[in-house]
Chains A and B, each alone.
Chain A
Amino acid sequence: MSLFAFLGTLEIGLIYGLVALGVYLTFRILDFPDLTVDGSFPMGGAVAATAIVAGINPWLATILATLAGSCCGLITAFLAVRCGILHLLASILTMIAAFSINIRIMGRPNMALLGEPTIFTPFESLGFNQLHVHLGIVFLLVLLSAVFIIRLLSSDFGLGLRATGVNDRMVAAQGGNIGFYTYFGLALSNGFVGFAGALFAQSNSFADVTSGVGTIVVGLAAVILGQTLLSSSKIWVSVVAVIVGSILYRLAVAFALSSGMFGMQASDLNLITAVLVAIALVIPKMKAKLRVKSLRF
């Protein structure tokens, strides 16, 4: 793999690290399997692209994209908490609806950002290498997001959020409002995913409604991969692990595709992902089994 390809992979890995943070919040913290991300990721891209083309400041466009993602999360939370629809189904409904809405937002299924200003352009015009600029800014934004999540989850409020996914009866008995935590958690999670979508669109200079397909699996792969390698009950370790997992996942995929050793092609990506996730899910169980066996003999 060339250095150029490596840095590009690193950037994508970091951007999807934000998706992984969102998935970590829902799957791990809230125990709410949320497929909304397949809709909120392209929505982030769609909103950012449309806003930028309309002449809005790219940073403001990115914030709008984040808010749009949060709205998707709120709708899923509303369907689940208020209407009592099964978690998984509620999120699938939002995801499907988001597909139509994304086309409405852009007015077409995809949109190019070539020649438009992005959050990266001011730094590129200073004469830095484009790839370095992308990587640096994305790294900083991911770092800030990670610090924010770690700080949030260490607060009184965050503790309530963390307990909600494990023992909601206890949280209610301690005066925590489960419904509110669910709304907040889903809005935050999908906000991150919308944010990632906006960065992805600006980095690649296009937004596409189909870019959301499989976002949830990629996010899940990152969370599981990261937490299998770096397992700890400490929040900051888990958050770092999730982002590292995202980067490793991207590197593994890039390696498998570029080496061509198994005769892989780009369209095999979903298969590779599914196999990776399955393996990462099985490893902890195998470990536990081995431990039991070694205790017995």
Chain B
Amino acid sequence: MIHLENIRITFNAGTILENKALRNVSLTVSEGQFLTIIGSNGAGKSTLLSAVSGETPISEGSVEIDGVDVSNWPVHKRARFAARVFQNPLAGTCATLSIEENMALACKRGKSRGWHLALSSKRRNFFQDRIAILGLGLEDRLGDSIGLLSGGQRQAVSLVMATLADSHILLLDEHTAALDPRMAAFILELTNTVVKEFSLTVMMVTHSMKDALASGDRTIMLHQGKIIFDVAGEERDCLDVPHLLEMFSRVRDEELADDSLLLG
């Protein structure tokens, strides 16, 4: 479970560049929920995710994961709760290490790393089993440097890597945005498979309203650092992209109306 309480993040506070990325956002993602997050550029989607992962320090509020207050924890300590897949396929893997070494790194996520050999035959078999579900033939190329793989393949491996350690939270930061449409569809499908198989709790940021509605069981939309709507269940099942757009423009109109009142 992820619980955000009154999160406020301000970049360059007190300067002319002050940017309120998140304004008093409260959000609870319950166990096993697959939340998709949409919003326009600069709405605070990625900032929301990095408030959970710890990459962006929060100015106010608190972050709780599985009942533990992690507000002041550094990124590497929070890693034991949540796996992440980044937008940039190069960011989630280490190019100079082989596929199996990357997987060995990931299977120790959030655990202490000791003197044990990183690659044993037992681990290799385990990696082979896990990577085989991709159907990319990578199980026979475990020793290859991961830098030789394409962006899409690396993203697919990142997803598998996210499931190797036994945490059950997955943070996806526009993880299909840098891929071509076919690969993006493959990765999204893979995401759904993996999430179901390991019953993960997911926060997925995406640019695509279609993807946001097609995957997961709850959707929120951010605008200017606030959650402007939050749908789940039947209400969400009836939504389609035009509806979403309409809701979005309605919210913006209201906001404009507020402003005009203020200014008028």
Contact = CB atoms under 8 A, between A and B. Distances in A.
Nearest to B54: A172
A166 B91 CA distance: 10
Contacts of A267: none
A172 B76 CA distance: 5
Q: Of residues B53, B74, B94, which shows the largest number of chain A Cβ atoms within 10 Å of its Cβ?
A: B94
6 contacts: A154-B117, A156-B108, A167-B93, A169-B91, A172-B76, A173-B92
Given A156-B118, A163-B105, A175 B93 contact: no
A166 B94 contact: yes
B113 A160 contact: yes
Interface string B106-140: 10111101111111000000000000000000000
A174 interface: yes
Interface in B124-179: 145
Contacts of A157: 113-115
A294 interface: no
Size band of the B side of the interface? 35 or more
Interface string A56-70: 000000000000000
A170 B92 contact: yes
Interface in A151-206: 152, 154-160, 162-163, 166-167, 169-178
A162 B110 contact: no
A257 to B, nearest CB: 37
Size band of the A side of the interface? 20 to 34
Given A166-B95, A171-B105, A174-B105, 10 more contacts: A155-B118, A156-B104, A158-B118, A159-B97, A162-B97, A163-B105, A170-B93, A173-B79, A173-B86, A175-B109
Interface string A39-71: 000000000000000000000000000000000
B90 to A, nearest CB: 8
A157 B108 CA distance: 10
Given A154-B119, A156-B113, A159-B105, A177 B96 contact: no
Given A155-B118, A156-B104, A162 B79 contact: no
B80 to A, nearest CB: 6
B97 A155 contact: no
Q: Chain B: interface secondary structure?
A: loop
Q: Chain A: interface secondary structure?
A: helix
A173 B53 contact: yes
B145 A233 contact: yes
Contacts of A175: 76-77, 79-80, 108-111
A156 B171 CA distance: 24
Contacts of B83: 173
A50 B216 CA distance: 69
A176 B114 CA distance: 12
Given A155-B115, A158-B118, A159-B104, A170 B79 contact: no
Q: Of residues A154, A158, A172, A177, which shows the largest number of chain B Cβ atoms within 10 Å of its Cβ?
A: A172
Q: Of residues B80, B86, B98, B117, which shows the largest number of chain A Cβ atoms within 10 Å of its Cβ?
A: B117
Interface in A120-173: 152, 154-160, 162-163, 166-167, 169-173
Contact of B97 (A163, A169, A173): A163
A156 B91 contact: no
Given A166-B94, A166-B95, A172-B79, A155 B106 contact: no
B96 A159 contact: no
B59 to A, nearest CB: 21
A173 B145 contact: no
A152 B97 CA distance: 15
A166 B95 CA distance: 7
B76 A178 contact: yes
Contacts of A233: 96, 98, 145
B101 A159 contact: yes
Interface in A53-108: none
B84 interface: yes
B1 interface: no
Given A163-B105, A175-B108, A175-B109, A155 B93 contact: no
